[in-house]
Amino acid sequence: MLDWTDRHCRFFLRLITRRSWLYTEMVTTGALLHGDVPHHLDFDPAEHPVALQLGGSDPAALAHCAKLGERWGYDEIDLNVGCPSPRVQNGSFGACLMAEPALVADCVRAMRDAVAIPVSVKHRLGLDRNEDYGFVRDFVGTVAAAGCGIFVVHARNAVLKGLSPKENRDVPPLRYDVVHRLKREFPTLTIVVNGGLARWDAIDRELAHVDGAMLGRAAYHDPWLLAQADWRAYGDEAPGPSRADVLRAMIPYAEEQLRRGTALRAIACHVLGLYHGQSGGRRFRQILSDSEKLKRAGPELFLEALEAVEPVADS
């Protein structure tokens, strides 16, 4: 979700769901050790609960970056051991780390020793064509012994050679049953399933077997999916806002961000899916992605887009 779940996206999603955990895009240890730390770590307090996802393979560097994340106020540190992109592999982190469970355990141990907040690991079921359950079972067991209690499991293998990152999201078959088996074998761990979930009937089926479900691109393209999360996943039946309420709430946020020098397009791009599947949704997206309008307009552009979806704006 690199360049997708940035702070503006997360603020928007938090307006839709009060309870769901939000995760940052992956931030590499190098970016924090040698780059602009506030740029990568600043977030709005409204985003809580929010987890910082790190990419790296050096225990000391990860411990340092986890400390930074805790100091910045994040609620959890997540280690990415699932990204299959060649660039990430060249940096010796991401999914290729599944072949080195002892190193991942050392990374987790170093982070656990450095911070008081939870440390989680996001990973795949296996590498390339290896679909042996013992591989992922031993990986989880080794990393859990180092102090990790939360595993977010993308229910596919990562094919490191021969498939692009996009193909790795679609081609390797989904094997939810393996994630269920992990939960049965490790009942005290928090097991969260990820991959291919885009409808609440499917999510509900998974929640009968595991502790949680992570949504990625499905929630980005159709963010109103998350409007049901509070009551379906958390039992919170307090009324939520309408789509129009959410859009109006983005206006003061955008005004403040523009005063700080943020371009309106950097905020508007995350809102495009708010009226996915709704009457007027196409015109809504056209207005908020019009490059000329985005250059000239301020946050009032959200109100112009809202007019395009009347009279369903309060649905």
What is the dotted CATH code of the domain comprising 243-307? Answer: 1.20.120.1460
Q: Is the pLDDT of residue 90 over 90?
A: no
For residue 56, CA distances in Å to 93, 102, 225 come to: 5, 14, 31
Percentage of residues in the chain having pLDDT higher than 90: 90
Q: What is the DSSP string of 144-196?
A: HHTT--EEEEESSEE--SS--HHHHTTSSPP-HHHHHHHHHHSTTSEEEEESS
Q: If pLDDT is split at 50, 70 and 90, which confidence band does 1 have?
A: confident
> Which of 33-47, 83-97, 206-220, 235-249 is predicted with the least confidence, judged by mean pLDDT?
83-97
Q: Is the pLDDT of residue 137 over 80?
A: yes
CB atoms near residue 267 (< 10 Å): 24
Query: Residue 313: its pLDDT value, please?
Result: 44
Q: Which residue, among 270, 264, 292, 254, has the nearest Cα to 217 in the 3D structure?
A: 270
Query: Residue 91: its pLDDT value, please?
Result: 65
C-beta separation of 125 from 95 below 8 A = no
pLDDT digit string (tens) for 146-180?
999 999 999 999 999 888 888 988 899 999 999 99
State the span(s) of the chain assigned CATH 1.20.120.1460. Answer: 243-307
Mean pLDDT of 24-51: 97
Q: Measure the CA–CA gap between 203 and 155, rounded to whole angstroms.
A: 13
Q: Is 83 a catalytic residue?
A: yes
Q: Measure the CA–CA gap between 192 and 182, rounded to whole angstroms.
A: 10
> Which of 81-85, 88-92, 186-190 is predicted with the least confidence, judged by mean pLDDT?
88-92
Which residues does 222 contact at the CB level (< 8 Å), separation at least 6?
198, 273, 276, 277
Q: Measure the CA–CA gap between 22 and 215, rounded to whole angstroms.
A: 10
Query: Residue 315: its pLDDT value, please?
Result: 45
State the span(s) of the chain assigned CATH 3.20.20.70. Answer: 7-234
Fold (topology level) of 7-234? TIM Barrel (3.20.20)
Mean pLDDT score of the chain: 95
Query: Residue 81: its pLDDT value, please?
Result: 96
Mean pLDDT of 218-247: 96
Q: Which of 9, 65, 83, 107 is catalytic?
A: 83
Q: Which residue, among 211, 221, 196, 247, has the nearest Cα to 5 in the 3D structure?
A: 221
Query: Residue 84: its pLDDT value, please?
Result: 87
